[in-house]
A and B are shown apart, each in its own frame.
Chain A
Amino acid sequence: MLVDRQDINPFHPCSKKSSMNVKGLDFFFNPASVAIVGASPAQGKISNIIIQSLKASGFPGAIYPVNPKYPVVEGMECYPSIAAINEDIDIAVFAVPAASTPDALKHAGSRVKGAIIVGGGFSEMGQEGGRLQEEIKAIVRERSIRVIGPNCMGIYDAVSRLDTFFLPLERIKRPAKGVLSIISQSGSFAVTAMDELATEGIGIARVVSYGNKADVNETDCLRFLAGDGQTGAVAIYIESIDNGAGFIEAARECALKKPVIALKVGRYGAGASAARSHTGAIAGRYEAYRAAFRKAGVVELDGYEDFVNGCKAFGSLRPASGNRAVIITDGGGIGVDLADTCQAIGLKVPQLDGALKRELESIFPPFFIASNPVDLTGSATDKLYAEALEKTLSTDSFDIAIVVALWGPPGLTDGFAAAIASTASSIGKPVVVCAPGGAWSREKNRLFMKYGLPVFPTPGGAARAAAILSKAKGRHGQS
């Protein structure tokens, strides 16, 4: 039996080691069919939300509700079992109680390529749950099936339009198709970031929430995303890593091709207990993670806010080729504060060279300050902003620009964002927008989002985004 399956699928995972095969995961991101095991017509049930999300997202493949209790779910024929479906299934989503999951999985095992087990009640819930998870692992080893989860949200994929994130669409906004992919041990973390990104108009390629990782883990996902043409950058949320060497190798391979940014949480756990050397007393687990990120060329993130900053940056922009920032502002105070923040976190804010300074002074009215920050004052207009950006960022002196957009001056119109965006795209270097302010400003900031420029409401956020963009430099090509 096992031998037959391996003949059919040469990438079959017959051991934990071979389960790291990239090709083994492709079908999760390009499924022709999805079965929902435990499908229910009851509104608000996990299985019901998934079916509704799949219909709403326009998932182009076949959807098979499975539940012996119902003939029809959400207007679709509901099958009593996977065996009753006359086709092979790419993905079966299991939304059944933990205790019945192993049997359901065994049942489906010969007919499906992969399973997403969204339910909880496994290793995160003590001994009995741990035993159920071991059963799932055994099934993975015995049969040619890959498993995402349990205790996860599965996949939100703006490319294949698969959506197993079982939270109602009106509560959690789904992002449009973009270039950033997210992999996350925590479902709620990924989904919250995703909701924020969607609200800010930042697109997503794939999001994988793999939960307890009975089979598929961060290393498998990284291997897939490294070779995924739809993914331009990868953000990772990590609680723990199973195989340090495998992770470093996969992350390094991925980071050579595209920016990889990562947040590790749970930093302050006990260090090496009873350490007898100074080294042992100082080195906690987090130092090892930091060193691993560094070795792999992964940019380290600092907390949820930073994760979202990094996702916004790489969801919209390419890496900066260096860390020299020019700041263009219409308010002196915010500009200087931003310059301080930038320098505190390792960005350079170099002065304009003499020739450039003289050129700006000859173009601009005398009360503009041709320095870095370039201060256009309250007399700023769309055109002056665009000119200042063009003159400074297009020189070899700068790698990235931060445009401080304070919407108070009446010279700024609805054409402001378009003017900045088109200048930025003609120069071909990243431009980050820092736009603090109240109701009017927040409303107008949507214009920047519309033109694909990431907007940050605080100097700290904008500076961090610029720093993250500059840290991934030089490791990969521009495609």
Chain B
Amino acid sequence: MGRADAERIVRARLKSGGHTLTEPEAKGLLRSYSIPVPRSRVVKDAIGAVEAAEAIGYPVVLKVVSPDILHKTEAGGVATGISDSRELKERLSRMLLKLADERPTANIEGFLVEETALKGVEVIAGVVRDEQFGPLVMFGTGGVAVELMRDVSFRLAPMTKDEALGMICEVKGFPLLTGFRGDTPKDLDALAETIIRLSEIALEIGEIKEIEINPLIVHENGAVAVDARAVLR
């Protein structure tokens, strides 16, 4: 675990001529920096998927793995709430048909079978490399509407814990994390720690141009990176 693992993942993708990490690769990067991700397995086909789902435990999520598909939901490459093997096989074959329509030329490397994430507060954490100032870290609320709402804050890496907590408190949606409307307060410490580790990935792995966790689900205890993407230079 650590930098060496992350570098191996990045180098392998670059070697294959790609500049976008697939979700399992991006999550491999996160895992190597101790950022929690849901339990998952990459499989080739329906038989593998059923095996994986039984090991992980239903309900599971099924996602397409392709370096050519960055926005999986829009392409029909995500199926959630799958409760048994019959449904899994059916939804997988439907997904294949849909992908053949939507992205006929995409290279499909396999499927990700993943445990269903527990509910919590969905936030986004990302880093882009600024040519002058280095890794610029963003935190925000709003999930898929983040580009619309722009409820975000920025800091430059390297970051202290205070800076990470500061950028969390700064967004308008901050009260969502502290027990809004009777909800339980969320684990700000784990959230800050996740943001710092994400910034460390960008600091240490120079090939990364953009890396993003969206959604990052924050629980009462801990935070889990449910989806991730990374773009290489």
Contact = CB atoms under 8 A, between A and B. Distances in A.
Contact of A291 (B133, B209, B231): B133
Interface in B138-156: 138, 140, 146-147, 150, 152, 154-156
B70 interface: yes
Contacts of A280: 126, 128, 209-210, 231
A291 B155 contact: yes
A367 to B, nearest CB: 42
Interface string B55-97: 0000000000000001000000000000000000000000000
A283 B146 CA distance: 12
Contact of B132 (A244, A281, A283): A244
A295 interface: yes
Contacts of A287: 136, 138, 154
A283 B155 contact: no
A240 B131 CA distance: 12
Contact of B212 (A244, A272, A279, A289): A279
Contact of B146 (A243, A276, A282, A294): A282
Contacts of B210: 272, 275-277, 279-280
Q: For the side of the interface on B, what is the size category?
A: 20 to 34
B130 A244 contact: yes
Interface string B154-193: 1110000001000000000000000000000000000000
A241 interface: yes
Nearest to B144: A278
A248 interface: yes
Contacts of B150: 282
A275 B212 CA distance: 12
A99 interface: no
A276 B147 CA distance: 12
Interface in A247-294: 248, 272, 275-283, 285, 287-292, 294
Contacts of A241: 132
Interface centre among A244, A291, A294 (most CB of B within 10 A): A291
A245 interface: yes
Contacts of A276: 20, 70, 210, 229, 231
B134 A245 contact: yes
Nearest to A279: B126
A20 to B, nearest CB: 16
A278 B214 contact: yes
B129 to A, nearest CB: 9
Given A277-B126, A277-B128, A277-B212, A288 B20 contact: no
B146 A288 contact: no
Nearest to B163: A295
Contact of A292 (B146, B156, B214): B156
B124 interface: yes
B136 A277 contact: no
Contact of B136 (A240, A245, A281, A288): A288
A263 B24 CA distance: 43
Contacts of B147: 278, 281-282
Interface of A: 240-241, 243-245, 248, 272, 275-283, 285, 287-292, 294-295
